[in-house]
């Protein structure tokens, strides 16, 4: 727990984990943790997943390294930990809850907050890609579990967040406080289909807002997001 993690948890946030199966306590030599994670970082867009701030020292526990990130110049907060077991955990703020001014997200009337379609789809795409990269190295095993929970959903509206796209004809609001999706995949399948599996998980989150996109629709949107990154 820290000031940053308390701040993240005070509003909407992602709480995710990537775990190789079966659990092996000392899968990775402690001295190699930083190099292994750095080689797996996903950079589809300007902000990498995870963000490793090389200007700051790493936080170090007995069996993990990590950082708590306050981007300062942009409204981005995250905290990550990478363990010698190969487990990676990520706590990340919903960006719409912290952007202000011209960068702020319009909250529909009657909603308490908002989240853009692209944040859910894009972040899960990055998460599955990170899991695939870790799976190929010493942090991986024959099966990999991806666990994602989105918190602070009660009354939150799902919005398009892109001017060129047609907005929903009616507000899409969540009535659950949080939603969690967990999937365990063989390493070969995860490495071969990270984007497809991300789309499948993203659709489950969208369903909790009452939006029922097809997998083909989300796949096309995913492609556009990555190509314009």
Cα-flanking dihedrals φ and ψ of residue 96, to 5°?
A: -65, -25
What is the pLDDT at residue 74? 63
What is the pLDDT at residue 163? 56
Mean model confidence pLDDT for the chain = 93
The tokens for 20 are 């190789």
Q: Could you report the per-residue pLDDT of 72-116, keeping only the tens digit for each?
A: 666 789 999 999 999 999 999 999 999 887 778 889 999 999 999
**Contact between residue 84 and residue 64 where contact means Cβ atoms under 8 Å apart:** yes
What is the pLDDT at residue 170? 75
Nearest to 179 by CA among 197, 198, 153: 153
Question: Mean pLDDT in runs of 10 for the chain (229 residues)?
Answer: 92 98 97 98 89 94 96 81 98 93 85 95 97 97 98 96 67 94 98 98 97 95 83
Q: Using CB atoms within 10 A of its CB, is residue 61 exposed (0-12), middle (13-18) or buried (19+)?
A: exposed
What is the pLDDT at residue 165? 65
- Domain borders along the chain are 3-227
What is the pLDDT at residue 46? 72
**Contact between residue 20 and residue 133 where contact means Cβ atoms under 8 Å apart:** no
Contacts (Cβ under 8 Å, ≥6 apart) of 226: 44, 125
Cα gap 35→86, rounded to integer Å: 13
Q: Using CB atoms within 10 A of its CB, is residue 8 exposed (0-12), middle (13-18) or buried (19+)?
A: buried
CA separation, residue 140 to residues 26, 124, 188, 195 (Å): 12, 19, 11, 18
């Amino acid at each position: 727990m820290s000031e940053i993690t308390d701040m993240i948890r005070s509003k909407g946030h992602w709480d995710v984990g990537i775990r190789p199966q079966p659990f092996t306590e000392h899968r990775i030599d402690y001295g190699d943790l930083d190099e292994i994670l750095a080689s797996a970082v996903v950079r589809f867009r300007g902000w990498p997943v995870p963000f490793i701030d090389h200007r700051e020292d790493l936080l170090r526990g007995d069996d993990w390294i990590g950082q708590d990130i306050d981007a300062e110049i942009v409204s981005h907060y995250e905290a990550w930990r990478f363990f010698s077991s190969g487990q990676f955990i990520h706590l990340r703020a919903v960006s719409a809850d912290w952007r202000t001014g011209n960068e702020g997200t319009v909250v529909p009337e009657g909603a308490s907050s908002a989240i853009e379609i692209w944040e859910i789809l894009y972040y899960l795409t990055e998460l599955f890609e990170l899991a695939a990269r870790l799976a190929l190295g010493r942090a991986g095993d024959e099966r990999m579990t991806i666990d994602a929970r989105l918190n602070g959903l009660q009354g939150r509206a799902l919005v398009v967040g892109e001017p060129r796209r047609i907005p929903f004809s009616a507000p899409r609001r969540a009535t659950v406080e949080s939603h969690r999706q967990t999937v365990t995949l063989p390493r070969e399948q995860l490495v071969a289909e990270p984007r497809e599996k991300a789309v499948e998980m993203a659709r489950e989150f969208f369903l909790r807002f009452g939006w029922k996109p097809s997998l083909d629709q989300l796949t096309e949107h995913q492609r556009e997001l990555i190509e314009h990154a």
